Amino acid sequence: MSSPEETALLNSLREILRGLCQGVIPNLEGLPQVQDPALGDLAAEVFRLGRLYAESHAFVLQLAKGNLEVEGPVRNHFAAPFKQLQAELRHLTWQIQEIAKGDVGQRVAFSGDFSRAINAMIEALGEKKQIDEQNQANAQLFRTIFETSADGLMITNLQGWVLYPSRSGMEMFLLDESDFLDGINLFDHIHPGDQERARQSLAKLMEGGETGFSEYRVLRKDGSQFWNESHAAVLTDVHGEPDRLFIVFRDITQRKADEERLKTYSEELERLNAKLSEMATMDALTGVFNRRSFDVRLQQEMQRAIRFGGRFCLVMFDIDHFKNFNDQYGHAVGDLVLVSVCGAVGLHIRQVDGLYRYGGEEFMVILTETSLDQGLQVAENLRRLVEELRLMHHEDALPPITASFGVCCSSDLEHLGADGLVNAVDSAMYEAKAAGRNCVRMAPSSHT
């Protein structure tokens, strides 16, 4: 038979166990003392079980509320797995704090899908961190370029409103920070005469064309003008749509001035070179070719005749009694005679022929692709031309002048060189002198 105390204890133990099965925290106030030691031991174990459960339950409730700092019960098998979970959560908390500080080397292990999700997030953060670092480096590079570039740099929107100017760019335009309060439009600073061209260039850029470097006149804030060489490129937004312009430009005012000066110098140099060339090949008094040019031309004609089987005539003439004329009327009139004769003869020979002052009052004419008969005819025409010249000096008529002519043909004197031809025509001319002057004589042919 059980005592009333034992019966009450058994009922109490039954209540505790039933409650535990239903998750009810039992009332464990005071373990009743009973006579039966076995029942007493059993009651003690059930009460201990109840306390372990209660401790564990209280601990888990705190964990469920997110209190990770709660102290877990020790030597409590019910609580052990939850303490392990608490350790996991605390560690995750620390890891996330470390990740937030930038340590993307953290990895979560042994938590299944949760580990994979967190690790994927950490990797994504790591990639973002790399991109952020690269972006920071790029931004620093960008700022450095904008701060140190000697060329002006600007980023504008597509309407030309300046969004980001470089220091040197602001200096070129004489702008300061205050000017940007109301906005700066680049087109307002382009010379009115160049604005249309600038807009056309922008339109071409927007169509995907290349504009290369362009030169514009640009107006500074104070209204002064400078020459500007610029190059523009279209910047796009994240969707690849054009949204800004990047413009690099430099002040080329000095270069323009230098180019202008250089152009003037070049023209002057060209003129001087032409003059020098003329002086080297022309006779300063008469304006016809000089002796040196004759020598060169004679060699060319001879080579051409040999190479192509051609021929040419050499006509030499000397103004008759020129010394007396000079003595009587003076050198100025003598010069007038020389110039007049050259002028007349020069007008009556073909463009392919050449008139040369050989020395003093002696002249040579080279008649290209001309036979001896034709040469003699030309010489006769020239003789008559000289004879018919009527020269005036200070409104006084000068006496008529005449000239003696010698003619030779290269085809009739094939064995002779240049010197030989000159000697032959010189001899013919002196024959004309000996024959009484004002006549034409030909050099004897080597074929006869």
Point out the residues that are catalytic. Answer: 361
Q: Is residue 83 within the footprint of other proteins (CB under 8 A)? A: yes
Please report, for residues 64, 434, 436, 439, the alpha-carbon distance to residue 320 in angstroms, rounded to integers and kept in the order given. Answer: 138, 11, 10, 10
Q: Phi-psi region for residue 77, left (φ > 0), alpha (ψ -120 to 50) or beta? A: alpha
Residue 126 or 346: the one with the smaller Cβ distance to other proteins is: 126
Among 42, 49, 95, 246, binds other proteins (CB under 8 A): 95
Q: Is residue 217 within the footprint of other proteins (CB under 8 A)? A: no
Q: How many CB atoms lie within 10 A of CB 2?
A: 13
* Binding flags for other proteins, 100-139, as an x/- string (CB under 8 A): -x-x-xxx-xx-----------------------------
Strand ranges in 135-267 using DSSP code E only, listed in sequence order: 152-157, 162-165, 214-219, 225-236, 242-251
Residue 93 or 224: the one with the smaller Cβ distance to other proteins is: 93
Residue 38 beta carbon to other proteins: minimum distance, rounded to whole angstroms: 25
Could you tell me how far CA 147 lies from the centroid of its own chain?
A: 21
Q: Is residue 225 within the footprint of other proteins (CB under 8 A)? A: no
DSSP label at residue 15: H
C-alpha R_g of the chain: 58
Q: Taking a C-beta distance cutoff of 8 angstroms, is the pair 384, 440 a contact?
A: no
Q: Is residue 66 within the footprint of other proteins (CB under 8 A)? A: no
Pick the stretch among 77-85, 351-359, 404-412, 415-423 that binds other proteins (CB under 8 A): 77-85
Pick the stretch among 5-13, 74-82, 272-280, 438-446 that binds other proteins (CB under 8 A): 74-82
Q: Is residue 80 within the footprint of other proteins (CB under 8 A)? A: yes
Q: Is residue 90 within the footprint of other proteins (CB under 8 A)? A: yes
Q: Is residue 55 within the footprint of other proteins (CB under 8 A)? A: no
Residue 115 beta carbon to other proteins: minimum distance, rounded to whole angstroms: 12
Please report, for residues 61, 78, 82, the alpha-carbon distance to residue 70 in angstroms, rounded to integers and kept in the order given. Answer: 10, 16, 11
Residue 105 or 212: the one with the smaller Cβ distance to other proteins is: 105
Q: Taking a C-beta distance cutoff of 8 angstroms, is the pair 86, 63 a contact?
A: yes
Locate 428 and state its tokens: 């013919």
Residue 91 or 271: the one with the smaller Cβ distance to other proteins is: 91
Residue 85 or 385: the one with the smaller Cβ distance to other proteins is: 85
Strand ranges in 142-224 using DSSP code E only, listed in sequence order: 152-157, 162-165, 214-219
User: What is the Cα–Cα distance from 154 to 249, expressed in whole angstroms?
Assistant: 9
Q: Which spans of this chain sit near other proteins (rule: CB under 8 A)?
A: 72, 74-77, 80-81, 83-84, 87-88, 90-91, 94-95, 98, 101, 103, 105-107, 109-110
